[in-house]
Homo-oligomer: A and B are copies of this chain.
Amino acid sequence: MSDEENLVDPSHPRYHSLMIRKKVAAAGEKGMLADSAMIAHGRGEAFDYLIGEQTIPSALAATKEVAARLLRARKPVLSLNGNAIALASQEFLTIASQLNCPIEINIFYRTPERMGALLAHLKLMNTKLGLDVEILGGVPDARIPGLEGPRGACQSSGIFEADTVLVPLEDGDRCEALVGMGKEVLVIDLNPLSRSSKRGTVTVVDEVTRFAKNLIQIIPERPPATEWNNIQGLQSALNHITETMANKFV
């Protein structure tokens, strides 16, 4: 990133969005991300722009449901990819500590270098925060049925045996495969039309940093799980976008 790109004016209307972007760029430079991660982040930025770069009411309701499902779970796990770790590693370590559950690093384009960089980053943050969260993913010993190649690798004590998996920014194929294993899959995705959003048990249409900060606040309240209508939540997010667009100009 050039010096010029590094300067962000706090008065810029999209200051928070630009600061989040800088986190992704910095993680890319540390070798934590696949090339496609920047593009994926840009897609998310566009949807966040359309929902107004804010936590909309249906997303807050979904976040409460996610908290309830994680608290109810027998064996929950937070499945984090490169972008989730780049954006909110501190927050997810705090959440895992609140829930006393492991984090499993699970990346789509797995290379030893990228896994090493992500493991090192999370372990460093774990120590910095004085936490003792179990970090899985480095030694995969099981497979998610139906996924070919390295993207199906997972750890038996983590994702494989979990009954409830939190998947921020998950690939559609993997989300479907986890649902197919009978798990509760809790999705964070800014695109309400994505396959992950549609297949998830509970989908939060929100930016991952905002979601994680909200979840930290909500977990101590120990909300009860409800009969969740995920499709209704997604339509509500779409309606928020279309209301922004309708009669914008004429």
Which residues of A are interface residues toward B (Cβ below 8 A)?
Answer: 1-2, 4-5, 21, 24-25, 28, 34-36, 38-47, 49, 109, 111, 149-150, 191, 193, 231-232, 234-235, 238-239, 241-242, 245-250
Contacts and interface: CB of A to CB of B under 8 A. Distances in A.
A46 B39 CA distance: 10
Contact of A40 (B28, B42, B111): B42
Given A191-B46, A250-B232, A2 B41 contact: no
Nearest to A149: B4
A237 B40 CA distance: 23
A242 B193 CA distance: 13
A27 to B, nearest CB: 12
A241 B234 CA distance: 16
5 contacts: A38-B42, A42-B46, A235-B249, A238-B249, A239-B246
Closest 10 CB pairs of A and B: A42-B42, A46-B46, A38-B38, A39-B42, A242-B242, A43-B46, A235-B249, A42-B43, A238-B245, A231-B249
Nearest to A233: B249
Copies in the complex: 2
A34 B231 CA distance: 39
Contacts of A21: 36, 39
A247 B248 CA distance: 20
Contacts of A49: 43, 191, 193
A109 B43 contact: no
A95 to B, nearest CB: 26
Nearest to A242: B242
B109 A2 contact: yes
A3 B231 CA distance: 37
Contact of A45 (B43, B234, B241): B43
Contacts of A40: 42
A247 B234 CA distance: 10
A150 to B, nearest CB: 8
A34 B191 CA distance: 26
Contacts of A234: 248-249
A250 to B, nearest CB: 5
Nearest to A190: B46
Contacts of A24: 39
Given A1-B36, A39-B39, A232-B249, 16 more contacts: A2-B111, A5-B34, A21-B39, A35-B38, A38-B39, A40-B42, A42-B46, A46-B46, A231-B249, A232-B250, A235-B247, A235-B249, A235-B250, A239-B246, A241-B242, A241-B245
